[in-house]
Amino acid sequence: MSFYLVLTVNSITFGGLLFLLSSGFSLIFGLMRIPNLTHGSLFMLGAYFGATFVGGLLGFVFNFWIAALLAAVLVAAFGAVLERLLLRQLPGQPSAQVLVTLGLSFMVADFCLMVWGGDPLSVQTPDSLVGFVRLGPLAFPLYRLAIIGIAAVVAIGLWLLLDRTRIGAMIRAGVDDPDMARVVGIRVSQLFTTVFALGAGLAAFAGIIGAPILSVYPGLDQDMLPLALVVVIIGGSGSLLGSFFGSIIIGFIYNFGQALLPELAYFVLFLPMLLVLLFKPQGLFGRFVP
């Protein structure tokens, strides 16, 4: 019983991380109509940056949260530059854009290997969140509960941003009908850069927040990208609600699959994606079929 309860908490934690990763992925997909294959790399880049800041850079050791924010801002800027300099070169050619993001992901992966080497870096849990919450005979790590809290706060923040602000309305208009949005005077191409930077920052933030649990290693990008892809296929691209539910579903399937069917964990993970593709190709909450 306690085994399943602990597994459930772990699943929700992982779902929270996945939400941070995939909400940006989903927004970029919804607006620009391309799956950003560098998204796993941005996650990994954020994790490496954060780990470097926490470990001490030029003799200055950063606080965990400041390091996380700094990494997110840096990677967001990197994302904006990517969008402006490279993807902008290929307007209206989604297949070419996807291939460019794929090529970039290889470059980032090799860059990280070059700079940080092949050994995994471990990141200490921030001091204030070490320890357990006891509930009768059960003990839950405080840090995992904190991740759930952070993901919930980000989810609410994103929802408010998209649903209650002017820029959110512009993004929603862009997702629903980019051409019509242009006609009514929304500068959709500027939104591209904004959303790309936002998504990159969120992915990087997820990377460093997840680092104390997942650690940081070469190949982290390749582990996370398919998960984001599955979440968005299940939830539906461009939908915040979709990536929320998709993340929770995949969080559960991933953790339970790893624990109960370790040999077929990947297979089990992709099964719901195939079911969704077969029966509801736009995803559970999606607005269009990619």
Partner 1 sequence: MSARIVTLVVGAVLLITLPFWMPGVYYLNVASQILFYAVFAIGLNILAGYGGLVSLGHAALFGIAAYATGYLLQHGFGHPAAILIALVVAMASTALYAVLSLRASGIGYIMITLALGEIVWGLAYRWISVTGGDNGISVHVRPEPFGIALTSASAFYYTCLIVFALSTAMIAIFVRSPLGAALKGTRDQPRRMNALGYHVWAIRFWASMLSGLLTAIAGILFVYYNQFISPQTLALTASAEVVLMVIAGGASTLFGPVVGAALVVIVKSVVSGYLTRWNFLLGAIFVAIVILMPEGLVPGTVRLWKLGWRKTIARRPKIFKAGGPPV
Which residues, in sequence order, are CB contacts of 145 under 8 Å at separation 6+? Answer: 9, 13, 133
| 33 touches partner 1 (CB under 8 A) | yes
Q: In this structure, which amino acid lies at residue 195?
A: V
197: phi > 0 → left, psi -120 to 50 → alpha, else beta; which?
Answer: alpha
Question: From the centroid of its chain, how far is CA 259?
Answer: 23
Is the Cβ–Cβ distance between 123 and 216 less than 8 Å?
A: yes
Closer by beta carbon to partner 1, 123 or else 175: 175
Which residues, in sequence order, are CB contacts of 15 under 8 Å at separation 6+? Answer: 151, 247, 248, 249, 250, 251, 252
Which residue from 129, 167, 241, 265 is in contact with partner 1, where contact means CB under 8 A?
265
Of 89, 110, 111, whose CA–CA distance to 99 is shortest? 89
Closer by beta carbon to partner 1, 4 or else 266: 266
Q: Cβ of residue 166: shortest distance to partner 1, in angstroms? A: 29
Of 178, 279, 190, whose CA–CA distance to 238 is shortest? 178
Q: Please identify, among the stretches 83-91, 151-159, 181-189, 198-206, the one whose residues bind partner 1 according to the rule CB under 8 A.
A: 83-91
What 3-state class would DSSP assign to 139?
Answer: strand
Q: Please identify, among the stretches 10-18, 145-153, 157-165, 277-285, the one whose residues bind partner 1 according to the rule CB under 8 A.
A: 277-285
Which residue from 18, 31, 45, 104 is in contact with partner 1, where contact means CB under 8 A?
104
Q: Cβ of residue 95: shortest distance to partner 1, in angstroms? A: 5
Closer by beta carbon to partner 1, 140 or else 270: 270
| 165 touches partner 1 (CB under 8 A) | no
What residue ranges bind partner 1 (CB under 8 A)? Answer: 33-35, 37, 86, 89-90, 92-96, 98-100, 102-107, 109-111, 113-114, 222, 226, 229-230, 233, 262-267, 269-270, 273-274, 277-278, 281, 289-290
